[in-house]
Chains A and B, each alone.
Chain A
Amino acid sequence: MASTILLDIGFMAMLVVVAFAIVRLRSLFAIVMLQGVYSLVSAAWFVSLDAVDVAFTEAAVGAGVSTVLMLAAMLLADRESRPVPLGRQIGPLLIVVFAGLAMFYAIGDMPAYGDAHSPANSYVGNDYLDRTAEEIHIPNVVTAVLASYRGYDTFGEAVVVFAAGLGVLLLLGLNGNAGRWRAKPNGVRISKQAAPAARKRPLPADAPQPAPAPAAASPTRRTKKPTAKTKKGGSS
């Protein structure tokens, strides 16, 4: 038990350090990677808290896929966030401190950590544990509750995931070619860029491709290069 407490305290310290580092840093790449680290450390803590399924999901989703997605979005946007003036930070800090104090005040009413007889751990959770062995005959209670007892819930979640994917496809397009127009809100063109269209390049396997010009790539990478040639020529 003592070793578990030490582990817990270690994980908590790492989480706090990583979270504060996220507040302080300004490089978006570092922030995104630290978010992945935060997810991974919290996944390790989930194992220590007996939530193996949750830890598995958090490690795969939080530390894996969401980091990749954030990096992809960051490549399409900026690499650095601007500093926030100090005067703009006081208001949020006050709000956060007040909210935090209110929650600290509420700690006294929370059940003790690890209490087996707390209201949260008393009724329906135990019921699931008892009935899974009799009714469903599979050892993993989490899977049983997820797929069978709370099947409606999970169906809703699956639909939400589907809808979110649909939303991303509507916003960006499966081939990245949604909204290939130049954005002109109210008839005014704000930005010089056009939305990057789908890349259509000749397949690299057959033809010996010409050496890519790396000199032109580095400074003007983010501003979209004139795509007329690649759009027409690369229809393969």
Chain B
Amino acid sequence: MISAVFENYHYSVVIILMMTGLYVVFSSRNLIKKLVGLSVFQTSVFLLYITIGKVAGGQPPILVEDGHGGGHGDSTDHHAETAMNLLAGGEAKVGGAQHSAEVLYSNPLPHVLILTAIVVGVATLAIGLALVVRIREVYGSIEEDVIADLDHRYNLEGTAD
């Protein structure tokens, strides 16, 4: 198990980052710092996804127009040529296109998932910040302790009679 941890040190670092973000969320009493911790945690989860989707020696998942662009994989598909022919309307069948090198791409699926997650993340972060601003206007503070204290003193939770 120890050797696995060291071989896949990417995962180890990402886990450390995730736990750091989680620790900030748990331990800090300041609401904005909590949100920053949540944001760090979120970005680290994105890193985990993208790390899983990486293929060694791969290229970004943008189909190259000709196979000469490099890449050396054992993949046997020919989408590079197909893309080339289709893009150029079939007139680009120059010699050598048939047996050009295959290109290895990284997995596009995690990219798509994370791409939308980032934008949704900032939108939800904005909601959280708006709530913080309103809390500050009502309580005059964004420290959890002060807020809980005021809640208790003015019986805002409605528990004590």
Direct contact of A and B (CB under 8 A): yes
Interface set of A (CB-CB < 8 Å, partner B): 1, 8, 12, 15-16, 19-20, 22-23, 28, 31-32, 35, 38-39, 42, 45-46, 49-54, 57-58, 61-62, 65-66, 69-70, 72-74, 76-78, 81-82, 84, 88-89, 91-93, 95-97, 99-100, 103-105, 107-108, 110-116, 118, 120-121, 124-126, 128-130, 132-134, 137, 139-142, 145-146, 150, 153-154, 157, 160-161, 164-165, 167-168, 171-172, 179, 183, 185-186, 188, 190-193, 195-196
A186 cross-chain contacts in B, Cβ below 8 A: 154-156, 158
| B interface, over-half SS | helix
A104 cross-chain contacts in B, Cβ below 8 A: 5, 12, 15
Instruction: Tell whether, in the assembled complex, residue B154 and residue A110 are in contact, meaning their CB atoms are under 8 Å apart.
Output: no
Instruction: Tell whether, in the assembled complex, residue B154 and residue A190 are in contact, meaning their CB atoms are under 8 Å apart.
Output: yes
B18 cross-chain contacts in A, Cβ below 8 A: 100, 103
Instruction: Tell whether, in the assembled complex, residue B43 and residue A42 are in contact, meaning their CB atoms are under 8 Å apart.
Output: yes
Interface size counted on chain B using CB atoms at 8 A: 101
Instruction: Tell whether, in the assembled complex, residue A142 and residue B115 are in contact, meaning their CB atoms are under 8 Å apart.
Output: yes
| Other-chain contact of B140, A54, A84, A164, A192 (Cβ < 8 Å) | A192
Taken together as a complex, chains A and B put the C-alpha atoms of A58 and B106 apart, in Å, by 18
Instruction: Tell whether, in the assembled complex, residue B108 and residue A141 are in contact, meaning their CB atoms are under 8 Å apart.
Output: yes
Taken together as a complex, chains A and B put the C-alpha atoms of A92 and B112 apart, in Å, by 33
Taken together as a complex, chains A and B put the C-alpha atoms of A168 and B53 apart, in Å, by 34
A38 cross-chain contacts in B, Cβ below 8 A: 40, 43
